[in-house]
Amino acid sequence: MRIAAFLVVLSLACSPFPARADDVSAAQDVIRAQEQAFVHDDASAAYSYAAPAIKQIFPAADIFMSMVQNGYAPVYRHKSFEFGDSKTEGNVVAQRVHIIDANGEAWEALYTLEQQADGSYKITGCSLLKAGQAV
């Protein structure tokens, strides 16, 4: 019985769940840092959190910032920005964010982030829907 208990404790100690919690925390830190860069109109900082594939589509920080201002206004300017559920799979984190925009309307954002070769996370995408809107 002691051996079985030891094996359970050992398997929990070696389980990937703590690393996953760290991954989610790291991903949330990136999202929050980008959100703060938007608040301060710091295009360079906001752009620095974008994944290489995003930078290929938007090859300069000012182009990226213009896209966010025009296409993601609730992300760019908001009253509330709170993390919801998250999911990890491999080196990808999906993070829901509940947003109340500048006009008081509720939105749901789904961020995806991918771990880079250096271990950092970069934002690979953001899908935005009004709260309650069908997909």
Per-residue pLDDT of the chain (135 residues; tens, 9 = 90+): 433 333 333 333 343 443 477 999 999 999 999 999 999 999 999 999 999 999 999 999 999 999 999 999 999 999 999 999 999 999 999 999 999 999 999 999 999 999 999 999 999 999 999 987 766
How much is the pLDDT for 135? 61
How much is the pLDDT for 58? 98
What whole-number distance in Å separates Cα of residue 36 and Cα of residue 20? Answer: 24
How much is the pLDDT for 133? 74
Beta bridge partners of 107: 99, 130
Instruction: Assign 3-state DSSP to the chain and report helix, strand, coil percentages, each to 5.
Output: 45, 30, 20
One-letter amino acid at 10 equals L
